[in-house]
Each structure stands twice: as structure tokens, then as C-alpha cells.
Amino acid sequence: MVIEVRNVTKRFDTFTALHGLNLQIQPGELVALLGPSGSGKTTLLRVIAGLEFANEGQILFDGTDAGGRHVGERRVGFVFQHYALFRHMTVFENIAFGLRVVPRQRRMSDSDIKKRVNSLLSLVQLDRLADRYPTQLSGGQRQRVALARALAIEPRVLLLDEPFGALDAKVRKELRRWLRRLHDDMGLTSIFVTHDQEEALELADRVVVMNQGAIEQVGTPEEVYDSPATPFVYEFLGNVNRVPCRIENGKVSLWGVDVAAETHDGATLPAGETAGFAYVRPHDIELLPAGQGEPAVVRHVAAAGPTARIEVSVQGVQPLIEAQLSRKRYLDLGLKVGQQVAIAARAARVFPASASPGPPAGPAGL
């Protein structure tokens, strides 16, 4: 089903949570709404579901306005962040709920309900837990019950609010792959909310990056990671070095590369010299023996795993710069803490300081 968000604005009292958003989601897509807390991603999901209503704008399902219909009539499967399982019902009854509340003339027979619930139970691999209560389940099991319950009503769209937020790392990875397979097998159109960029980039067909109630960028994981449209996207997608620099006549020369400065909103760059920030990914940084470029000092080395993460200090740059080297390169250089080296950049993007969203909230490591 095609879902279209058209000019949607949502206000809570004096606070505007969504500023005139536009977004189109194609049938069969798995889309991630990615952003920090307070960016409006959950509000957008709830407006699409019909749990909240927009003050302005429309939500269209296959071209028809869903505005007048509340959540029960939109046939959306909604999986809540904390699952919201009915605590006084067994797993079986939780999943059967959506089938039992159908008006009598359209309701399935008890035996059909039983059949459907049992097939959903085996779909989410919980056959043996049908008689348990939610409190007797682990986080991952509750998550799957919530999913089965949402799927029972044969939704046209599956909406998931932070679906893996409350799970530990290992379960999270497993469930993620499982959800991707389920989405593909059932031919669903799905939207999920997350603040975890790794999750969004790994799982989604397209990522919608949100900030302060607005959409910063929409694109495939490669697009948003390789060519972030704004400084915010650069910083939120993490693992980037932000280097203050001077832009002269629209150009910056940084560690051996010349970069043209750009603005994300089409504004013209101020003439002459102005302050800016260069964004350099750690894997676009090369370390060389001392004397072959801008001098730097190795401050910290984390070499476990396939790549080595080296932190170096560069004169006049705060904080430390992170470089990512292949294991082989790291061994060839024989890097030690305190060693003098030279730093070079292979690629960088430069934005004027006025476009920058302010100091980063801290390293959001991959």
C-alpha cells in the first residue's frame, strides 16, 4: 500500500512536534524513521497509525484520505515500544484479541480463530508458550507476541515503535534479521522508528532522518551514509570527525585535499573568509610516517577486530581525531601511543559554521 504524508503539522499545546512534513512510502518498502529523542519520529508514526491526529495536512492510504478514520479502522498493525501486551491474558488470548472484538456477524468461528492463532504462534516460534502470561516471557518473546498480535488482524501496514529498544544486543540482532525476512515473506509495507543508526542502516530499504520535527534527508542507507545532505545527518549518522576550518573563497585546504564548501539549503556562501566545519569519516583518514604531511600524535589505539581505531591529536584541533586503518596498515606503521605521525585526508565535506547544528552530542560509535 502507498502511504503518503502530505504537509502534516502536529502541535501539542504550544509545542510543534511536526512541521509540515511530506513523505511517500511505496508498497513493500521497509522504512526507518531515524532521529534523536524529541525529533518527532514517534509522533509521525502515531499520526500515520491514527493514534494521534494531525493539526494540518493529510495522511493518504492508497490515495484516499485516512484523516477521518481512527486507528481501529485503518487496519494498521502497531507494535508498541514496551509491547503493551494485555497482562491479564495468556499469549494465546493476546493474539486472538483482534479477532474476538470483530462484530458478531463478521467474526470468525472459534475454531477458525484457534487455527489462525496457532499458525501465528508457529510463525513467531512460540507454539509452546500459548498458555503463558506476558510476565512469564523474556523481552524477545514478548516482542514476538506483540508482533503476532498485530499481524492477526491482517494489517495492510506494519508500524513499529522502537521495536528493538528494550532488548539486549544479541537478541536484537537476531530479531532484526527475522523481522526483515518476515517483512519480505508477507509482502508487508512497514515503518519503524529507531534512534539507533546502525539498526536503521542495516534493516531499512530507505531511511528518513528526522530532527526537531522536520525531515533532514530521505534516502537509501548508502545515500544517507555516503552523502549526508546536512551537517546534522553527518553528525547523527555518527563516526565522523568534525574539524573547524577557515573557508577562503568557497574552498578549504585540509590535510592535503582541497574541498569546495557547500550549503545544504541552497543558500550562497558568504564571500571572502568565513568559519566552517569539515566532516571527515574515520576511514577517509590516512596516517603516514612523520614528516609526510600535517603532524599528529597518536593518543589512543584500539586494535582488536578487523580494523584498528586510532585516535590522534592534531595541533589546534579539538577533540581527538579518529582514524580507521586496516589491520595490515596498522601493523606496517607499527603505531604506538605517543608516536609522531602525519595525517592526510582522502575526502571531506565542508559546510559553513552557520549551517552547523552545534557541538555534537558525543561520539555515536558504529
Partner 1 sequence: MGRINPITERRGLRAGLIAASLLYILLFLVLPVVTVFTEALGKGFGGYFTAINDPAARSAIKLTLLTAAIAVPFNMAFGIAASWAIAKFEFRGKSVLITLIDLPFSVSPVISGLIYVLLFGAQGILGPWLAEHDIQIVFAVPGIVLATIFVTFPFVARELIPLMQEQGTEEEEAARSLGADGWQTFWRVTLPNIRWGLLYGVLLCNARAMGEFGAVSVVSGKIRGLTNTMPLHVEILYNEYNIVAAFAVASLLAFLALVTLVAKGVLEWAYGHELGGARA
Shortest spacing between CB 242 and partner 1, in angstroms: 38
**For residues 80 and 178, which CB has a smaller minimum distance to partner 1 in the complex?**
80
Calpha distance 27→2 (Å, rounded): 5
Q: Is 101 in the site for partner 1 (CB under 8 A)?
A: yes
Q: Is 97 in the site for partner 1 (CB under 8 A)?
A: yes
Cell of 101: 472484538
Q: Is 201 in the site for partner 1 (CB under 8 A)?
A: no
Cell of 55: 493539526
Asked if 164 and 172 count as a contact pair (C-beta separation under 8 A), the reply is yes
Q: Is 107 in the site for partner 1 (CB under 8 A)?
A: no
Place of cell 498480535: 149
Q: Where are the beta strands (DSSP E) in 45-167?
A: 56-61, 64-65, 76-79, 157-161
Contact window for partner 1 (CB under 8 A) among 76-84, 212-220, 223-231, 323-331: 76-84
Q: Is 133 in the site for partner 1 (CB under 8 A)?
A: no
Over its C-alpha atoms, the chain yields an Rg (Å, rounded) of 25
Calpha distance 287→312 (Å, rounded): 9
What angle, rounded to 10 degrees, do the helices at 110-123 and 139-151 form?
130
Q: Which residues pair with 346 in a beta bridge?
A: none
DSSP symbols for 86-117? -TTS-HHHHHHHHHHTS-GGGPPPHHHHHHHH
Contact window for partner 1 (CB under 8 A) among 83-91, 208-216, 263-271, 304-312: 83-91
> Which member of 30, 33, 47, 49 binds partner 1 (CB under 8 A)?
49
Site size toward partner 1 (CB under 8 A) is 24
> Which member of 3, 17, 23, 78 binds partner 1 (CB under 8 A)?
78
Q: Is 82 in the site for partner 1 (CB under 8 A)?
A: yes
Contact window for partner 1 (CB under 8 A) among 86-94, 162-170, 220-228, 277-285: 86-94
**For residues 88 and 336, which CB has a smaller minimum distance to partner 1 in the complex?**
88
Q: Is 77 in the site for partner 1 (CB under 8 A)?
A: yes
Asked if 242 and 46 count as a contact pair (C-beta separation under 8 A), the reply is no
Nearest in space to 313 (alpha carbons), one of 279, 291, 339, 283: 339
DSSP symbols for 192-220? EEES-HHHHHHH-SEEEEEETTEEEEEE-
Calpha distance 199→204 (Å, rounded): 8
Site track 137-156 with partner 1 (rule: CB under 8 A), x = hit: ------------xx-xx---
> Which member of 2, 102, 302, 337 binds partner 1 (CB under 8 A)?
102
Q: Is 163 in the site for partner 1 (CB under 8 A)?
A: no
Shortest spacing between CB 132 and partner 1, in angstroms: 17
Q: Is 87 in the site for partner 1 (CB under 8 A)?
A: yes
Query: Which residues of the shown chain bind partner 1 in the complex (CB under 8 A)?
Result: 49, 51, 70-73, 76-78, 80, 82, 84-88, 97-98, 101-102, 149-150, 152-153
